[in-house]
Amino acid sequence: MENKTPNQLKAEIEQLIVLFMIGLALSGITAFPLVTEISFLHNRIAPYSPSFVQCWISKVYTGIIATDNSYPFIAYGTDWLAFAHLILAVLFIGPYKDPVKNIWVIQFGRIACFLILPLAFICGTIRGIPFWWQLIDCSFGVGGYILLTWIHKNIQKLESILIYNNL
């Protein structure tokens, strides 16, 4: 196991935080063009997918198109979802700048990632989302939790080094 300098550790923490922020931002941005995305999935991806995926994409496509045609204001809810993801990405600028001081943001993120699981399983079941799709949603929480745990451990190492060097 290599020992890293504080600068190397900080650089690694920064890179991992940027990766997490990009994931949040992309997740948010993709919530804006739902009609375009579902049309692409329906026309280009579904025909080459297993039948259960084709059925689900077709059902979602029908629902989104019908909703958009009759009630376009409903998409405003997903606009707010997108906005929340973008704002959460901004939140991680704090630990990017000063990871030790802002470790609480990483802890908050880990809690949020963990809470994706009960949300997906409870609300997904209530809303009739297929179990396999709930697992896809949960994978974002699991992946984010793993990445943030790695960041958290590196911040703790950095803090230990900084405390030791100040003695």
The reported pTM is 0.93
CA–CA separation, 134 vs 131, rounded Å?
5
Residue range 57-91, pLDDT digits in tens? 999 999 999 999 999 999 999 999 999 999 999 99
CB 124 within 8 A of CB 137: yes
The contacts of residue 157 (CB under 8 Å, 6+ apart) are 4, 9
DSSP, collapsed to helix, strand or coil, labels residue 137 as helix
| 3-class DSSP state of 31 | coil
Token pair, residue 43, equals: 């026309």
pLDDT tens-digit readout, 1-27 = 578 999 999 999 999 999 999 999 999
pLDDT digits (tens, 9 = 90+) for 89-133: 999 999 999 999 999 999 999 999 999 999 999 999 999 999 999
Closest CA to 142 of 105, 117, 167, 162: 117
Closest CA to 47 of 37, 60, 57: 57
